[in-house]
Structure 1
Amino acid sequence: MGCFKIPDSLCDDLKSMIRNFWWGQKSVEKKIPWVSWENMCEPKAGGGLGFKNLKCFNLALLAKQGWRLHFAQDSLAFRVLKAKYFLRCNFVQASLGKNPSYTWRSIMAAQDLVKEGIMWRVGNGRDVKVWGDRWLPGSSSHGVISPRLFLHRDTRVGELIDTEVMCWKSSVVDSIFLPHEAEAIKSIPLSVRAPPDKLV
């Protein structure tokens, strides 16, 4: 499951076998399922029993492989797949390509999941675009929704930081962003060492 996308039909068969075992089905005799499968898949802390949703679990493991292809660039798997499928870009920008292997199709099935979860951790702000990149904590999209009034499209987060003392330019932030976004931005801690920005 960590390397290949399991067919949905197989996941459904496995789910059916688990349900039948749990509810005590014997041969053709069926027992009453007192709780829906969706509720049983909820975490124990949320009132469920913590069963795995196999399709989602499979995609999560494949997304982990995609994440490794994006960052662990010294592995043999990365070098082979990059040379064949995404020579001139990174994994997040890659396309399925022509005549892909089952392994590549499986990993690409989780590409959207990687894109959905990836965001920037602000260091010095030089690599992060204010508009377009995902870097804002506390919002569901992690992107800025404030209107872009007078700054250019490629404005970097570093332009909002006073690099001499490594703190936010509060007056600039307050004048550009909606109040709740300005507060979220000013709550992002900055290091005096000004490390590079990092994708997490």
Structure 2
Amino acid sequence: MHWKTWDFLCEPKCRGGLGFRKLDIFNKALLAKQLWRIIQNPSSLVARVLKGRYFKHMDVMLSPLGSNPSFVWRSLIWSRSLLKEGLCWRIGDGKGIDVMRERWIPSKRSKLTPCELNVTVGAKVSSLIIDGSWNEQLIKNVCLPHLVQDIISAVGR
């Protein structure tokens, strides 16, 4: 006999549920955390083993699933989308960050669309920086107004 749905039981106690965790979401979060550890500590044994087998000549965030992947690798690839949602570039000099394809504005949850920036395809964030600080006049000229303040106040430029 089922008196309550699983979704109701997974609600926090303050909302009347029992506070159970949704195991698939919790599992994905833990796997994304492991993937973050691989990125942060590339010299660890697990990172070196996975790199040798699955992403020898590329970044772990760009590597394909490959042929005949292990259950571990398949699981890490499954969690990669969750990790990508939370990642944002630290600008630095901006030479390696594509303006249109990368997520580099902290307040922006997704990639920019061509109508939001009036820049050429393949332009780098470095084209918006002069002498280590933002070229505010250029940013005001090429960006829609709602993005200007977000870009100028971007963390970690």
Q: TM-score, normalised by structure 1?
A: 0.67
Tell me the residue number matched to 2:42. 73
Contact 2:90 2:155 in 1 (8 A): no
Tell me the residue number matched to 1:136. 105
Cα distance between partner residues in 2 of 1:114 and 1:90: 14
Give 1:146 deviation, angstroms: 4.9
Sequence identity (%): 38
Distance 1:170 1:54, change over 3 A: same
**Partner residue of 2:151 out of 185, 191, 200:** 185
1:41-76 C-alpha deviation (Å, 9 max, x unpaired): 345677755421100000111111222223311111
Distance 1:167 1:39, change over 3 A: farther
Tell me the residue number matched to 2:141. 175
Equivalent position SS for 1:79 = helix
1:13-34 C-alpha deviation (Å, 9 max, x unpaired): xxxxxxxxxxxxxxxxx4733x
Distance 1:180 1:88, change over 3 A: same
Tell me the residue number matched to 1:158. 126
Q: TM-score, normalised by structure 2?
A: 0.82
Cα distance between partner residues in 2 of 1:45 and 1:179: 41
> What is the CA RMSD across the aligned residues, in angstroms?
2.5
Contact 1:146 1:177 in 2 (8 A): no
Give 1:137 deviation, angstroms: 2.2
Give 1:112 deviation, angstroms: 2.2
Distance 1:146 1:137, change over 3 A: farther
Cα distance between partner residues in 1 of 2:97 and 2:112: 12
1:52-109 C-alpha deviation (Å, 9 max, x unpaired): 1100000111111222223311111111111111111121112222222222222222
Q: Which runs of 5+ in 2 are unaligned?
A: none
**Partner residue of 2:3 out of 14, 19, 32:** 32
- The count of aligned residue pairs is 156
Contact 2:65 2:74 in 1 (8 A): yes
Cα distance between partner residues in 1 of 2:127 and 2:11: 43
